[in-house]
Amino acid sequence: MTQPRTLSAPQEAILEAGISHPDPAAYTMVNAIIVDGVPAKALRQAATDTAARHDALHWILNLDDRYRISASAGLGPALVPVEETDLRSLDPADSIATVEAWMATQRAAAYDLWGSGPRIRFALFHLPDTPSGPSTVCALTTHHLYTDEHTLQLLWSEIVRRASTEPSSTPTSPDLRYSRWAEASTSPAAATSARTAAEAVAQRCKAHETRPYPKYLDRPPAPDAYGQQTRALGPVDTAEVSARLSVGPAAAYVAAVAQAVAEQTGHGRIVLHMPMSLRRTAAEASIVGCFVASALLPIRVEPTGDRLIQHCQQALDFASDHAHARPGLLSRSVGRPQISLAVEQPATARRLGAVTWSSFAAPNAGPKHPLSLQLSASATGPGRLRASWTPATLTQKQVTDLLERTTDHLSRLIAKG
């Protein structure tokens, strides 16, 4: 038996975007951590128990004879398969390369959203032992409909905590909080608020260019034909400029990208697409599910230096406040921005008692927009600025120039004094 579920507003938007995207694997998610000091059996059980507890990870999509989409979930714990691969006989470098190849293959595979099988799958790769004991890569494959980046970190933390403690004999109750949030996100009041937000965003985007780059090719390329380039970043410390101007780190990142695009294209008013979370409360910060919305970020690049950073912070605040805007209304009134910018957290090592874990390098993905930029930075360690783009949008030379301009502007914007 199953119970009906209501798809949230972010899920509806991702489902629509996934159906229309030329790459069938665009929203497949593959993520992994390396865990040291936990027996494989405990890690396997923790992954199974954690995934089974979260109702939002097991919704099945249904399509009726009138092509209406609905969701449902089972009444009992869902099956969560875990496959295991023993790599302990390999050289450490070869074992990591094997995991990387597996992740790349999974990432490039289309996710069957309409099947009745498990919505999330785990894989354990047993690496050569370390001085602290067993070393294991714990990886998962799912779809963006079920998880966002914050959810992945919640899952990994819960899995490691479960694996590091004695198992409880008390059965855990299913977590239905996302289901309740999803219903609220599509209520009549929420729909009215989303329309009002879309109107405000459309008004703010007037006189801004959503497609600053002209098409390089007349005909679109094959779905899997895209370019990608990564530029390594050294430590990027935004603490001084953030404290002096009362802004967040993302304001400097957005300012650097906006300046680079404006210089390269000649457009001083651009619209960026930026994924933003609709988690608004401390309670929502602990809920597993997809809360990511597609926010539009209109930027005016006429001011420079500190004024530009402050302007970008104001734009980020506006985008965050209106991230619930209805996507369909925005696409009709504003269009689809050509450039997306995702600001991501760099990988950091974490510890729970004697157990340590860190994020495994995620496989590269194709662009969800004609030009997709991913920026991660840290004040103490390495970061990266990655670009992926369709050949119909930019050339390799243009992308190289854009990344160089962005990193140069970022260095100047955060320079002390």
Mean pLDDT by 10 residues, the chain (417 residues): 92 92 91 92 93 94 86 83 94 94 94 90 93 90 96 95 82 89 97 97 95 77 76 94 95 97 96 96 96 96 93 97 94 94 86 86 87 94 93 90 97 84
Strand arrangement of the beta sheet that strand 60-63 belongs to: 2-5, 69-74, 60-63
pLDDT score recorded for residue 222: 61
Dihedral (CA of 51, 55, 56, 59) sign: positive
pLDDT score recorded for residue 226: 87
pLDDT score recorded for residue 172: 74
pLDDT score recorded for residue 44: 94
pLDDT score recorded for residue 13: 94
Backbone angles phi, psi at 249, to 5 degrees: -60, -35
